[in-house]
């Protein structure tokens, strides 16, 4: 625990918004409390790379798979792409065979909120579609379980997780954005995670931290609380 206390005392050294730091640090605290240490981090939706810097800071020896259609960023966080154990894939995590899909750079999503306007303004682009299982569990796997998965892909979470059937079985903890601007998306996501054995551990304003209780109890001896 001393290692984590020492690390958590220097939040100002970690880039990113206060909200991102709060969620990421709480994830790390809950995983540590449950005696769970990921051997690989699957970061779906890299964005501005804030959380990559946090993972590198908290888990310097853990390899990270970063997936994002926009490619590596320039600016203060660019170094996280070039240092440490990061594998970056410029693609969309999605169910099915590898093929191009339309991605809106303005909405940062496969689900464009203003289709006609954004298409005419040139925000639409074709991006390669990949399944998380294909990246993590390919013929030459370089990412060892157990996994911690972070998803922030603006409505694409259900499709992405449908392409992560095998990976989810060896994922101990998962954090995902729980938006509902796509009708029924939040409910579908919660239903899918429950079916895979994930239980909501912490709910933030727009993010949920989930524990795969069955997996963690078998691997780490964590027992469910008895109902009084």
Q: What is the pLDDT of residues 164-215, one digit of tens each?
A: 999 999 999 999 988 777 788 889 999 999 999 999 999 988 899 999 988 8
User: Which band of pLDDT confidence, cut at 50, 70 and 90, is reported for residue 9?
Assistant: very low
Read off the pTM: 0.81
Structural domains of the chain ordered from first start: 2-91+145-220 (3.40.50.150)
Per-residue tokens: 172 = 């101990």
Q: Find, among 97, 109, 92, 102, the residue nearest to 185 by Cα.
A: 109
* Cα–Cα distance list, 157 to 45, 154, 179, 182 (Å): 10, 7, 10, 11
Q: Find, among 137, 139, 111, 136, the residue nearest to 124 by Cα.
A: 111
Q: Is pLDDT at 107 greater than 80 in this prediction? A: no
């Amino acid at each position: 625990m001393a290692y984590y206390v020492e690390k958590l005392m220097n939040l100002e050294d970690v880039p990113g918004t206060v909200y991102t730091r709060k969620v990421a640090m709480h994830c790390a605290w809950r995983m540590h409390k449950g005696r769970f240490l990921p051997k690989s981090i699957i970061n779906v939706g890299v964005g501005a790379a804030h959380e990559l810097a946090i993972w590198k800071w908290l888990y310097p020896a853990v390899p990270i798979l970063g997936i994002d259609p926009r490619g590596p960023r320039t600016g203060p966080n660019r170094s996280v792409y070039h240092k440490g154990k990061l594998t970056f894939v410029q693609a969309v995590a999605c169910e099915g065979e590898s093929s191009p899909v339309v991605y809106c750079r303005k909405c940062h999503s496969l689900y464009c909120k203003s289709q006609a306007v954004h298409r005419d303004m040139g925000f639409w682009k074709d991006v390669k579609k990949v399944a998380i299982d294909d990246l993590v569990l390919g013929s030459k796997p370089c990412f060892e379980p157990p996994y911690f998965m972070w998803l922030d892909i603006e409505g694409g979470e259900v499709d992405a997780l449908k392409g992560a059937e095998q990976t989810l079985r060896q994922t101990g903890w998962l954090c995902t954005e729980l938006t509902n601007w796509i009708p029924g998306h939040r409910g579908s996501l919660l239903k899918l995670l429950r079916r895979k054995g994930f239980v909501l551990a912490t709910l933030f304003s727009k993010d949920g931290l989930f524990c795969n209780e069955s997996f963690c109890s078998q691997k780490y001896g964590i027992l469910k609380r008895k109902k009084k």
